[in-house]
Structure 1
């Protein structure tokens, strides 16, 4: 029997579930370092340590959440209870994150660490079940590409709101008081995220489940995950992508102000980092359907690397800079559509190899890659600022050079590494064979 296709409401609700999870996180990724250093006046190197330590602790938390999803059995399903019960706490912590009290510096750093860590924990409790939900909704690769495209739309909207809209809204709500402005914007985004997460819970259903027992040994399951070639490639692909994303999101405000001397370009450049996902959600599915994920990604990543290498030579011309920059961002955005699909297909590969699906555990590993990548990218840039002696209001030429070459150099190096990683993707042209083998295994004897 043919698989029942997903409805438009399901696809839309799934896509905008990413908006519910990512909006606060994108605002934090783009402006939290700036908020801490330029509004709260915390030292850049200390803030870098806050980011790095908080995210490295996710190595344990994400795995715990992933295993919990695989062991969950409720009347709501395996993933949906997490959306229902974390939506309100996530909104509250979003507001607290941008409301650092006027305490001493040590107390403020502790507060920053605790609220940032709480945001990470709650995001794990939403993002891992969210990612695990896709292979439970459909086994059809075409539908998965459509879900990935719709998720890209949700991601794009979250980036545009969390980046381009943030500073104008800070000015509008704050009336010159950036502390009040950031707090007001955080509250607004918290409400939007809350609505989207509740819509995800209400409209998306799990149609396919892991038939394995929820009572499984954790360490052997982790060892099997580390033997899953598709998962290892997906992990490396997401890790390098989000390391670059972390550097670019955190460095762009400094880059536009101190290197380009055009603060207005923050509102153009930040959304374009992944805001081009809105366009790529239409470009990517036919591209990967024709060329496959491996060849398609190699092509667009090679193009993006060349464009970022050219970009420093266009600084003196705003039209030329933006043309090259937008083309580079479109190329990189196309690859995140592939990443969303790759995550789902690691589940099929795992089922084929090991006889169990373990969507939660596999999704937690990829979630860890995104968080560690963001942490390393953001903290690395913060440490570079600290090493260069960055001080708000008294920026030296050495600090400007550090900002410039961190921005360009990280993109070229990490995009090149992404190409090397995706070469080893094993799933192209294997889908029919895998499904036939699984069906034969599940067929009753005789």
Structure 2
């Protein structure tokens, strides 16, 4: 195994990270607008949406590890992971367009159509997103370089990608004759851009870390996951941290449209958040270098919890204060997102040392699954609360439905951050321990339990 590699050039990091922009033009379109599209445009009930999101994640429990195994065992002239960027970009974005297309069929048939297209989108997303994220683990083993890669990735994913979707989609959709036509055509525009950016990431990425030639078998997947306690704890933290922003982002349009009475505030809100997202990206590598990745993640979660819970008490008339409190929480949220993705590759070497099996695909598959579980649980929970409180699209809300939206936008993200913070108290893979593990692996030394 190679542990001393020349420093990564900024051009390679930059080019590889463009893939996050491409992926997030697709991913954030789904995350921000699909639930709203299904209930208010496509015309199916929140209950059906909740069921769809949960079924999709149950399937991912099978699909993600299998894809991780396939990626780990891929052999090609482009490496193990890079070919998926080349060949899966078009299928992924065709499924994005399919998700936002409204066929003229019965409501029952629409439910079936939604299940088929959303499940297929999730499968293709795994087939591209999992290998893409795995590349970071084979570009470098240097912890600080991995933090820099994570910062670049979050810059393109959130500062650029999420901001484009959050700020740009509503005005673009409004430019067309109907929301149905608007969402369909806007999805085509972003699908084309996403495909081209993913191909650029293929061009610039490079698999540099040499890995052992021996391969694990399908039966070893459970061992690779079960014995990697750092993987399990970070996966739980990722589920909870994902829940923070998924609930907040998915419910934001409902909050501004029905609670504040102005859907036009939604893109303005996310536009104002852009510099604070950028501040979080800038601060994250500084914090990880100063206090370590785990402590930076804990600090970010604390900041998010304080301001998300505090936002619930801001009066509806004080929109400026709502924006200020949200902006401060956004800095912490972005620091969490950058830090968590900087921690993910470290669990690869830890898992190799702990189990004797080298795998990038399975740990990344587990994190992919964790993130999608977080998205599904948050999305399904939001849809369930809307249904439970009597939400009916495009009508005046009852007091109960309005309060449900307030809790979804403020209280539940704050509670997710508290739980995320608590889970990280059990994460023990410090920087010093990681460096010792690299030395052990270089000398072919493993955890005492390996081979027993």
Question: Does the alignment reach a TM-score above 0.5?
Answer: yes
C-alpha contact (below 8 Å) 2:224/2:357 kept by paired residues: no
In the TM superposition, what is the alpha-carbon distance from 1:370 to its structure 2 partner?
Answer: 0.5
In the TM superposition, what is the alpha-carbon distance from 1:356 to its structure 2 partner?
Answer: 2.9
Structure 2 distance, partners of 1:271, 1:120, is 28
In the TM superposition, what is the alpha-carbon distance from 1:410 to its structure 2 partner?
Answer: 0.8
In the TM superposition, what is the alpha-carbon distance from 1:40 to its structure 2 partner?
Answer: 1.8
State the Cα deviation string for residues 115-135 of structure 1 (Å, max 9, x = none): 111111111011111111111
Structure 2 distance, partners of 1:362, 1:422, is 18
In 2 relative to 1, CA 150–326 (structure 1 residues): closer, same or farther, beyond 3 Å?
Answer: same
For the residue of structure 2 that corresponds to 1:102, the secondary structure is coil
Structure 2 distance, partners of 1:219, 1:343, is 23
Give 1:294's aligned residue.
Answer: 294
In the TM superposition, what is the alpha-carbon distance from 1:13 to its structure 2 partner?
Answer: 1.6
Structure 1 distance, partners of 2:49, 2:439, is 51
Matches within 5 A, 1:288-367: 288-315=288-315, 316-367=317-368
Structure 2 distance, partners of 1:274, 1:383, is 30
Matches within 5 A, 1:396-435: 396-428=398-430, 429-435=432-438
- Which of residues 162, 165, 170 is equivalent to 2:168? 165
Structure 1 distance, partners of 2:196, 2:307, is 38
With normalisation by structure 2, the TM-score equals: 0.93
Give 2:109's aligned residue.
Answer: 107
Structure 2 distance, partners of 1:137, 1:333, is 23
C-alpha contact (below 8 Å) 1:243/1:374 kept by paired residues: yes
Q: Cα RMSD over matched residues?
A: 1.7
Structure 1 distance, partners of 2:19, 2:275, is 16
Structure 2 distance, partners of 1:231, 1:399, is 38
In the TM superposition, what is the alpha-carbon distance from 1:273 to its structure 2 partner?
Answer: 7.5
In the TM superposition, what is the alpha-carbon distance from 1:182 to its structure 2 partner?
Answer: 0.6
In 2 relative to 1, CA 206–275 (structure 1 residues): closer, same or farther, beyond 3 Å?
Answer: farther
For the residue of structure 2 that corresponds to 1:314, the secondary structure is coil
C-alpha contact (below 8 Å) 1:274/1:333 kept by paired residues: no
Structure 1 distance, partners of 2:439, 2:115, is 49
Give 2:189's aligned residue.
Answer: 188
- Which of residues 56, 74, 77 is equivalent to 2:76? 74
Farther-moved stretch of structure 1 (247-256 vs 263-272): 263-272
In the TM superposition, what is the alpha-carbon distance from 1:74 to its structure 2 partner?
Answer: 1.2
Give 1:49's aligned residue.
Answer: 51
Give 1:213's aligned residue.
Answer: 214
In 2 relative to 1, CA 192–276 (structure 1 residues): closer, same or farther, beyond 3 Å?
Answer: farther
C-alpha contact (below 8 Å) 2:312/2:407 kept by paired residues: no
Q: Is residue 382 of structure 1 aligned with residue 383 of structure 2?
A: yes
In the TM superposition, what is the alpha-carbon distance from 1:72 to its structure 2 partner?
Answer: 1.0
Structure 2 distance, partners of 1:108, 1:11, is 42
Segments of 5+ residues of structure 2 without an aligned counterpart are: 446-452
State the Cα deviation string for residues 366-392 of structure 1 (Å, max 9, x = none): 000000110010011111111122112
For the residue of structure 1 that corresponds to 2:6, the secondary structure is coil
C-alpha contact (below 8 Å) 1:228/1:350 kept by paired residues: yes
Structure 1 distance, partners of 2:118, 2:140, is 34
In the TM superposition, what is the alpha-carbon distance from 1:276 to its structure 2 partner?
Answer: 4.5
C-alpha contact (below 8 Å) 1:274/1:329 kept by paired residues: no
State the Cα deviation string for residues 366-424 of structure 1 (Å, max 9, x = none): 00000011001001111111112211222222111111112222112110000011112
Farther-moved stretch of structure 1 (285-294 vs 47-56): 47-56
Give 2:450's aligned residue.
Answer: none
In the TM superposition, what is the alpha-carbon distance from 1:205 to its structure 2 partner?
Answer: 0.8
In the TM superposition, what is the alpha-carbon distance from 1:272 to its structure 2 partner?
Answer: 7.0
For the residue of structure 2 that corresponds to 1:430, the secondary structure is helix
